[in-house]
Structure formats: structure tokens, C-alpha cells
Chains A and B, each alone.
Chain A
Amino acid sequence: MSTTLMMSDLVNESLDDNSSSQPEIIRLENIFKVYGTGETEVKALNNINLVINQGEYCAIMGPSGSGKSTAMNIIGCLDRPTGGSYYLDNVNVADMNDQQLAQIRNLKLGFVFQQFHLLTQLTALENVMLPMVYAGVKPAERKARAVEALIRVGLEKRLHNKPNQLSGGQQQRVAIARAIVNAPVVLLADEPTGALDSRTTQEVLDIFSELNSTGITVIMVTHETEVASQTKRIVWFRDGEVVHSHLTPEELHHLVSG
């Protein structure tokens, strides 16, 4: 990779960068995440600034230990930053308590994990209904919305199957249905294709693209270039810092091959 490209990118990264007309949905301001103290202190995130606008389809990449997972956990409100401000949908969530964060995760965020994390004793439908149970949605409405979400991921014929009766790709689609059922502002996916073969990977990515085309913001952590190149924007992490915040798939290709 060329040094100039990197430098120019760093310079370009500014919080006033509002090239898109869409409202911003995620704003990380001077985020630090420090583990340990004194000599054993490790800065997992070192002064991160990042803005993601509504409707973006964004991949977070970077080598192991670059801080991308830590950043994802903070964006997902599963973890709190040591310092800095995090505005999710224009609300500062950095100082919220556990209960408030649980509510944010429930209503504003949708999670998709590498290991699917479906509850084995529940059917696909019941798994998708689960976030609405915690949201206090009325039972009748829950079912209708869960069915709708499962139709969106093409599983209308698998409503009453348990996870062990579904293929890996189908399980991940159930997980996606679960993630979108509460109409979140952001869909977060942590290595969503890591446990899938290439054919089902494409199925899942097609669903993400389709969801993104209907306006859902999608942020995905991945280490697979082919996966990342299907998104519209790539954020590159290294050593706890954002080194590229607006790579296009073509630039990513240059970066990786260069």
C-alpha cells in the first residue's frame, strides 16, 4: 500500500465530513478503550473517530488485535468506552447504565453472530419472537411481525423448525430475521459468514444487500475480502486506530493486493 494513500485518508477523516445527505446514525468521538493500568495498560482503541450515516452498508476490517471487534462491541452497546462520546441515533449512550443499554440493544440494534446463537429449544418463529418478548410487544403482534421477518429472509416454510432441523445458512437467516424484527436503526453483524460455506455465504450476503436496499444501515465485521467487497464502504482498523474510513471495494482490492 502506498503511504500517501494512507496519509491522505487520515487527513480526510474529519467529523465534519458530511458528504452524504443522509442523517448520521453512529458518531464515535475520541473513543478510547483501555484495558489494565500502568505498565500493563493496553489501548485497544486509541482515539477513534468514526461517523456512519443512515442507509450505509459498511464493513469493518483489519488484522487480528486491530480493535475492530472492540469497536463493534462499543457500537453494539455491549461494552462501554473508557473515554469519548458515542452518539447512536443522536443520543449519547456512553454514559448509560446497564438497563438503558439493554433497552437500546433491544430496540435500536440488531445483532447477527458468527455462531448464529439461536436458542436450541425454541422454533425458528419463537427465536425471532424473543426480542419482542423483551420489548414487551403484545403476543398477537409478535407472531405477525416474526412471520413477516422470516418471510423477508425466505424462511416462510421453516417457521416451526428447531435450529437443529435447519442448515447453517438457514440458521443464520433466522438470526437475521431475529435481528431485524424490532426494526432496528442499525444491523450489526460480527463475522456473519465465518461459519458458512461459499454458497450460503452468498445467500446471506444477498439478504444483507436486500435489507440495505430497503434502507437498513448494515455494519459488518469480517476478515474476508470477498465479503467486504460486496459492501459499499470499508473501514480499516489497525493498532486500535482507524487507518482508512472510506475505502471503496476497489481501493480495498488495491490495498490487499498491493
Chain B
Amino acid sequence: MNFVETLQMAGKTLLANKLRTALTMLGIIIGNSSVIVMVGLGEGGQRYVAQQLNSLGPNVLFVIPGNEETQRVSRDVIKTLVYADAEAIETQVPTIKATAAELNSRQVVTYKNKNTNINIIGTTPNFLKVRNFEVATGRFFNDLDMKRSNQVVVIGSKLKQKMFGNQNPISQQIKIKNSSFQIIGVLTEKGSNLGVDYDSSALVPIMTSANRIVGKTSPYGLEVTYITVSAQDADSVDAAKFQITNLLRRRHKLVGENDFTIRTQKDALQIVGQISNALSLMLVGIAGISLFVGGIGIMNIMLVSVTERTQEIGLRKAIGATQQDILLQFIIEAIIVSVIGGLAGTGIGIGGLGLISSLGIIDASTSLSSIFMTVGISGAIGLFFGVFPARRAAQLDPIVALRSA
């Protein structure tokens, strides 16, 4: 009896018992679809985070005040970085392209009778270059605006939509913390990243922000929230990090630990990667358990099936089936059930991922390799859990089997 015929025979038997076959498949279908969905969510999440980080701007470094220890224990905002640090980095570090300091605060913004509480980012004209932003309409503020502390503002696309609808906002006046600002431009939509929704923010020259909005001055100069730096290319990120560290240590006259932290996208990607890997592993673990349970289901129903089909087994043996023939028949039935169940589960899983994506929750999709993997695994489960019932069937005594009417 060859393999193809065993396959046909198994198919016929499975078709003859549609309900039983469907119930057996159910466990594997559930298991497999959850594996696909979980893995897809994990991969989608990873992709999402990677995208977010990339949209920050290529090869960006963040210089943040305080070291990890002070960041953790300090209750106040740490003020160890000043605007002059940013200027020094800009002029003295050779491996960088541009630097932009940011001085951020939350403020109420008013236009006519509408007001909203948003993030006001005080920054420099370099912001566009460093952070990879573009102006959709109007213009960005320039060095002259900086020098004169002009009360000009560039707004995010969502903020524009909220305050002005389809009206042209350029040259309109809005109030930020009771000062009037003229809108000179609107940024292109970028989405939020790392928790900051730039589309709902407004950008003003950093000097204007310091003078009119935040009003902070310190003996050392203008304190900034953080400094963003773009390195010349991906390879110079590490060099830039090293050079900036040296420069700031010198400027801050440090002997002990750094009073600032430099984060690169690579660091962030690594951390996020570790977290999402752990998450994926957990999800796959959960899905694996459901696959295992599906396998147990196959074994249970096959054991019942062996009992039900005792006479058939006895007859087959009486007309010449060997133990191997019977063993193979039952194992193949189990594998067919689990592989078809696996494929169906994969289909349902992909459908589920499509649904999740189309609902805009997360852009989740699965790779071909994980499809092959899950179908392979479900086949292996069928084999593994099919062996025990199949052995029971193969070892049935034909006389006993035939007489169990």
C-alpha cells in the first residue's frame, strides 16, 4: 500500500465523518490562528516602533539633561543643559550635520473663542533638518526671527485642522499664554512619536519661547529641555556620541559622572527590540499552549475514533493490512486533520490580522516564514499526538476487533 493511496483512503475516511473531523480540527484551527495573530501583532508592533524611531529623523542623537541616576530620583526638571551647549556642539563637533535645541512646555493656545492645551516647542530653524520635518504651507522661522525674538509660530497639521478647519491659518494671530503670535507656517503631518504628537503641537523660536512663554533664565544661560543632533551618517553616530560627551564634560567641568545622557536611535531600537522580543515570546508561548491543547484534542478524538472503528481495523487486518498499514493510516489521518486545520487557522489568523490592520489598531501582518512555521508545527503536532492512538489501532487484535459488534 503506497503513500498516495493511504492519503486518499484517509481523506475518504475523514470526509465520511465530517462532524468529527471538523471538531478535531477546531482545536488546531484555534491554536494556529492565535499563533498567527500573536506573531503578526508582535511583528507589527516591532515594525511600528521601528517606523516611529525612523520618523524621528535619520541618525538622530538626543542629548538629555541629567544622567540615569538623577533622572530617576529627581523630582524637579533637571537643568544641566543650556542653549550654549547646543551652539558648542553645532560649531565644535565635526561629525554632526546639525543641532537643534528644544525648550518645551504645555500651554493654552487661544484663537477667537477656541482654546486648547498643547505642547509648545521652542526650537531653532535647524529643527527641520535635524528632525526630518517639512513645512506644508507658509514658511518656518529663520535666524532673523530668532535674533529678534519674533512672535511667530509654526503649527502642526492637526492643530491647524482643529483651530481653523479648512481656513487658511497663515498670518492669523493666536494667543499663547496671553501673548499674540502670528502663524507663519503649517508642518506636514508626521504622526506622533515617542509620545510627542508633533501634529498637535506648535513651534516657536526658542528665544521667543524663553522670553515670552517659559520665562526661564539661569546663571548659566538658557536652559533647554533637550538637544537633538543629527550625525553626518549612520556610521558617524557613535563618533558623534563620543565627541559630544567629551565636549559637554569639558564645558560642564565634570570630574565625576555625566550630568547628561546621550540616546541614539540605535539604543532606543535595541531597548524596544528587547522588549518586543520578550513580548513576542510570551505571545508565542500562549499561542503554543493553545496549539498544544489542540494537539491533545486531536489525540482524544482519535482515541475515540479508534474505539469507534475497532471493527473496521479488525476487518482491514483480516484482509491483509499489516500493523504498519494501520499505523500509517491513522497517523496520516491525524496529520491531514492538523495540517488542514493549520491552514484554515492560518487563513483565519491572516484574516484577523487584516481586520486588525483595517481597523487601524496596528499595522499587523505576518511573514511567509511564520506561516510555513505554524503549518509545519501543526503537522508535527498531528504526528506527535497521532502516534499514540495510531499505535493503539495498529496493535488491536483482529479477532477481538472483529467480534466487538
Instruction: List the interface of chain A (C-beta within 8 A of B).
Output: 73, 76, 78-79, 98-99, 102-103, 105-107, 111, 113, 115, 117, 119-122, 130-131, 133-136, 178-179, 182
Contacts and interface: CB of A to CB of B under 8 A. Distances in A.
Contacts of B49: none
9 contacts: A73-B399, A78-B317, A78-B399, A102-B323, A105-B318, A117-B402, A121-B13, A136-B1, A178-B319
Contacts of A122: 12
Interface stretch (B151-159, B243-251, B266-274, B308-316): B308-316
Contacts of B315: 113, 117, 119
Nearest to A136: B1
Contacts of A98: 322-323
Given A115-B405, A117-B402, A133-B1, A76 B318 contact: yes
Interface size class for chain B?
20 to 34
B318 A120 contact: no
Contacts of A102: 317, 320-323, 325
Contacts of A120: 16
B398 interface: yes
Interface of B: 1-2, 5, 9, 12-13, 15-16, 311-312, 314-325, 398-399, 402, 405
A121 B12 contact: yes
Contacts of B398: 78
A173 B143 CA distance: 103
A79 B320 contact: no
A105 B1 contact: no
Contacts of A78: 317-318, 398-399, 402
A106 B398 CA distance: 13
B319 A130 contact: yes
Contacts of A121: 12-13, 15-16
Contacts of B402: 78, 113, 117
List 4 A-B pairs, minimum CB-CB distance, nearest first. A106-B320, A121-B16, A134-B320, A117-B315
Contact of A134 (B12, B13, B321): B321
A181 B311 CA distance: 21
A258 B366 CA distance: 85
Contacts of A178: 319
A117 B311 contact: yes
A103 to B, nearest CB: 7
Given A121-B12, A121-B16, A133 B318 contact: no
B254 to A, nearest CB: 83
Nearest to B394: A98
A106 B319 CA distance: 5
Contacts of B325: 102, 134
A183 to B, nearest CB: 13
